[in-house]
Chains A and B, each alone.
Chain A
């Protein structure tokens, strides 16, 4: 049903759903996505809203429980009458929300890198697909550190799928996977001891990590305790951002490698002003990261589309979103017909101040190839 409103007829807010965990083992990163979302909403409202109507977030905390994401998505769409939801970090939580937004024709804005191989008409993907981070990372690691990789990941969909894809990329670049291990999502430092023994025995050139959440801190600490020198054998990751580095301590994170569309400070003047607004609101010590940035710019893309349509109806909003562009903190990004986003590819190395120094970056935004059609 089209809920077309004539402009200026109402001052009721535009209500949108927001689903990020502020407690539990994923809060370390999801809370930063919540902040990016709210910062953007505040900016839009401070500038007068959309057609003089404020955007009002309706927030739930799924507390890092996958099934809670599905239940809150149902509540948002069924009880709260909401059609647009910003949320989800893990692929499991996205898959829990997927049937709900698909059946009731909502729009989920998903600001997280993921393993690709998905295309839902009811999702806008604003994080990196594998061709936008994994391919460049793999080539960089082989050129600078060596051919032998060791995979360590959290045990859920994303790491296993991501490693399946990474294995293919490594092989087609002449490298090999020396070992592969998975730990629980709630892994504690002790759970990494057998992994460290394995690594010391196999002596890989690179440790490729898809460990997420609180367990990230335990992994990097375990590597430091085991005396691994990141100059020789770095941990390379697609998920370790400034937020996780801050949680583990700058000294523990120093020297390790991450590939991402965005690092704090990597996007020039527009980024500098974004970072200073973020710090002003959340504190001088709070770094931005790729997930904050995606959560932030996707709200602005949504607002631009809403400005043009003046309707929250998914079937009216969606065509306006597809093909739209925005000068995001990372640089110019655009959303294509596959519902994915053209993003920048950057490789960074963490320094002593918990920031990433960009070692390599693409010359412009890279088109997403979620089904890896153009890559081996």
Chain B
């Protein structure tokens, strides 16, 4: 048997699909990953968001039923594709913005692959968003750091590099960000009224 990556073992999973033979296969295979599976049919509006992965049929109202704003997903979404003989609505798929798709008939390897891929993409995008957030914060704090450096260079006759090293060592000692120390220096300087 395929060894299951630990990050997809024992997840909380929601399945919104008809409970026919293929639906039963999906639920059974997910349970084999020790997932706690909750089943809904028809898909509720909104779909539940307190879950790790959401397997949902590509119903026309799917994008509107998702319990989050596009770009801020709360769970990994796997779209269950309609049977191949029905017309495929690619625009609907694009709007649902899933992390993975799963084609019928569902097979054990395909279900596992979709689950692993969806969770890995979901986690990766979350890390990227976190990185952008931190970058934004750093960009904002850079002005404070520049000013704090100038203050230290003037008041303590430090060289630019030493001034930065001082701010960084204070930040490490106090377990706060470099930006926070810089802002404190600028504020304190203003309070004392030195120029």
Q: CB within 8 Å of B: which residues of A?
A: 1, 70-71, 73-75, 77-79, 81, 96, 98-100, 102-104, 117-118, 161, 164-165, 167-168, 171, 174, 176-177, 371-372, 376
Nearest-CB distance from A345 to chain B (Å)? 21
User: What are 21 A-to-B residue pairs whose CB atoms are below 8 Å?
Assistant: A1-B90, A71-B69, A73-B69, A75-B64, A77-B95, A78-B63, A78-B64, A98-B71, A99-B69, A99-B72, A100-B70, A100-B71, A102-B71, A103-B97, A104-B71, A117-B136, A117-B140, A118-B136, A168-B143, A176-B193, A371-B139
B195 is an interface residue with CB less than 8 A from chain A: yes
Give Cα A205–Cα B147 distance, bound, in whole angstroms.
24
> Which A residues touch B90, using CB under 8 A?
1
> Which B residues touch A376, using CB under 8 A?
147
> Which A residues touch B193, using CB under 8 A?
176
Docked complex: B49-64 residues within 8 A CB-CB of A = 63-64
Partner of B143, one of A70, A99, A174, A372: A372
B91 is an interface residue with CB less than 8 A from chain A: yes
Partner of B70, one of A103, A168, A176, A177: A103
Q: Bits for B125-143, please: 1 = Cβ < 8 Å to A, else 0.
A: 0000000000010011001
Partner of A79, one of B64, B69, B136, B147: B64
> Which B residues touch A161, using CB under 8 A?
140
Number of contacting residues on B, CB 8 A? 20
Given contacts A78-B63, A103-B97, is CB(A70)–CB(B69) below 8 Å?
yes
Given contacts A1-B90, A104-B97, is CB(A74)–CB(B147) below 8 Å?
no
Nearest-CB distance from A245 to chain B (Å)? 32
> Which A residues touch B190, using CB under 8 A?
167, 171, 176-177
> Which B residues touch A74, using CB under 8 A?
64, 69-70
Nearest-CB distance from B57 to chain A (Å)? 17
Partner of B71, one of A79, A103, A117: A103
Docked complex: B103-160 residues within 8 A CB-CB of A = 136, 139-140, 143, 147
Nearest-CB distance from B50 to chain A (Å)? 19
Nearest-CB residue, chain B, relative to A115: B140
Q: CB within 8 Å of A: which residues of B?
A: 63-64, 69-72, 90-91, 94-95, 97, 136, 139-140, 143, 147, 186, 190, 193, 195
Nearest-CB residue, chain A, relative to B140: A117
B147 and A168: CB pair below 8 A?
yes
Give Cα A165–Cα B186 distance, bound, in whole angstroms.
13
Nearest-CB distance from B185 to chain A (Å)? 12
B69, B140, B193: most-surrounded residue (chain A CB, <10 A): B69
A100 and B139: CB pair below 8 A?
no
Nearest-CB distance from A376 to chain B (Å)? 8
> Which A residues touch B94, using CB under 8 A?
1, 104
Nearest-CB distance from B148 to chain A (Å)? 11
Nearest-CB distance from B38 to chain A (Å)? 24
Nearest-CB distance from A202 to chain B (Å)? 13
> Which B residues touch A171, using CB under 8 A?
147, 186, 190
Nearest-CB distance from A367 to chain B (Å)? 19
4 closest A-B pairs by beta carbon, nearest first, are A99-B71, A103-B71, A103-B70, A78-B63
Give Cα A100–Cα B95 distance, bound, in whole angstroms.
10
> Which B residues touch A103, using CB under 8 A?
70-71, 97
B70 and A117: CB pair below 8 A?
no
Give Cα A32–Cα B95 distance, bound, in whole angstroms.
32
> Which B residues touch A100, using CB under 8 A?
69-71
Nearest-CB distance from B47 to chain A (Å)? 14
Give Cα A335–Cα B58 distance, bound, in whole angstroms.
40
Nearest-CB distance from A326 to chain B (Å)? 30
Nearest-CB distance from B95 to chain A (Å)? 5
> Which B residues touch A77, using CB under 8 A?
70, 95
